[in-house]
């Protein structure tokens, strides 16, 4: 197992699409080339990055994949969050949705009322409407507030005159496991459980808040 602090540092060294080992070392503040190579090999074996002729190639979702590894290996959530951006979170969300056959839309904006949806995954005429939260820490009241807002955004999407979506489910996607799994039937899903959720959930399940087109 790789030391979680090294994985946390590696997040900052992951610059897509291409970087050199020296640049990776500077950005990650890993000052030993042998240690840097060890970290890169560890990541490559787990599907992050590839090295050819001293050049490392990364995908947009690789930063968040590395963050999840660091968390699973015991790194502190706040330490990991510092190196992440909302774009990192969205990149992995889109990658997972596409893997399951969803068409995706990023940062969908509405003017009246003014609001924005982070990610929409569309399968036929159904949609998963995702709010990406890579917060460091959260409390129950904040989760309830964001779940309520996401439900309202989903309703706006279904009321749009241009949409062909017949039903949609609001979702809160988080960096790590929260104390609650549902808020008023809005699922609260850690990003590393998104694939399992997409594989298993049923649109007819009464646990989920499904919004239907009028």
pLDDT digits (tens, 9 = 90+) for 101-145: 999 999 998 887 788 999 999 998 789 999 998 765 667 888 889
Residue 20: band (very low, low, confident or very high) from pLDDT cuts 50, 70, 90: very high
The structure's pTM equals 0.76
Do 185 and 94 share a domain, yes or no? yes
- Does residue 207 have a pLDDT over 70? yes
3-state secondary structure of 141: helix
CATH code (residue 190): 3.40.1350.70
Give the chain's domain count.
2
Task: Work out the percent of the chain whose per-residue pLDDT is above 70.
Answer: 96
Last-in-domain residue among 82, 109, 128:
82
Round to whole Å and give the CA distance between 44 and 29: 19
pLDDT digits (tens, 9 = 90+) for 149-170: 999 999 999 988 778 889 999 9
Round to whole Å and give the CA distance between 5 and 20: 21
Distances, alpha carbon 191 to alpha carbons 31, 92, 112, 176, in Å: 31, 8, 30, 7
Q: Which domain holds residue 58?
A: 4-82
Q: pLDDT value at position 64?
A: 84
Do 75 and 138 share a domain, yes or no? no
């Amino acid at each position: 197992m790789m030391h979680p602090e090294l994985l946390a540092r590696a997040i900052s060294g992951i610059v897509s699409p291409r970087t050199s080992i020296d640049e990776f070392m500077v950005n990650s503040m890993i000052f030993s080339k042998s240690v840097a190579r060890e970290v890169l090999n560890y990541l490559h074996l787990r599907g992050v990055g590839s090295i050819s002729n001293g050049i490392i190639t990364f995908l947009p979702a690789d930063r968040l994949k590395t963050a999840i590894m660091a968390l699973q290996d015991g790194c502190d959530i706040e330490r990991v969050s510092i190196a992440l951006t909302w774009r990192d979170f969205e990149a992995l969300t889109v990658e997972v949705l596409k893997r399951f056959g969803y068409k995706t839309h990023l940062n969908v904006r509405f003017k009246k009322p003014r609001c924005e949806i982070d990610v929409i995954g569309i399968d036929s005429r159904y949609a998963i409407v995702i709010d990406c939260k890579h917060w460091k820490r959260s409390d129950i009241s904040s989760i309830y507030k964001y779940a309520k807002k996401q439900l309202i955004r989903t309703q706006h999407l279904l009321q749009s005159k241009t949409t062909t979506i017949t039903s949609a489910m609001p979702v809160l996607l988080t960096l790590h496991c929260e104390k609650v799994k549902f808020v008023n039937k809005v699922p609260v899903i850690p990003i590393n459980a998104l694939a399992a959720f997409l594989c298993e959930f049923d649109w007819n399940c009464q646990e989920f808040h499904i919004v239907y087109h009028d």
